Amino acid sequence: MNSPDTTGSGPVPPAPVCSAKGCRADAVWVLAWNNPKLHTPERRKTWLACADHREHLSQFLGVRGFLKDVVALADWEQGDHTDGTRHVGGRDGGPGNGGAR
């Protein structure tokens, strides 16, 4: 039998992880991007990156002209993203992760 949560804090959400295929490392970077053929100019999708995959994921998006910004995850979480960006809390369809949501 599960005991009720008496702390009032509820379950702790999982830490955001890197969007690189097969990587389970904690994310420390947010790569904000959009596909100009699909999204309005102000729309931002996000991929998360660990320190090891930041450059690779940035290059992947950059050569396609999709990368708009790279921001530290801590700074992104404290920012006001009312411009169509999704809140970071997990994967947002990084390469090999089932496509963008």
DSSP β-bridge partners for residue 30:
48, 71
pLDDT in tens, 34-58: 999 999 989 999 999 999 999 999 9
Q: Is a pLDDT exceeding 70 seen at residue 86? A: no
Does residue 31 contact residue 70 with C-beta atoms inside 8 Å? yes
* C-alpha distance from residue 16 to each of 26, 47, 90 (Å): 6, 10, 5
Query: Mean pLDDT in the chain?
Result: 80
Q: Is a pLDDT exceeding 60 seen at residue 1? A: no
- Domain extent listing, the chain: 16-89
Q: Which of 83, 22, 14 is nearest to 57 (CA)?
A: 22
pLDDT in tens, 54-73: 999 999 999 999 999 999 99
CA angle 65-79-98, nearest 5°? Answer: 50
Per-residue pLDDT at 89: 43
Q: Which of 21, 47, 45, 48 is nearest to 34 (CA)?
A: 45
Mean pLDDT of 6-29: 87
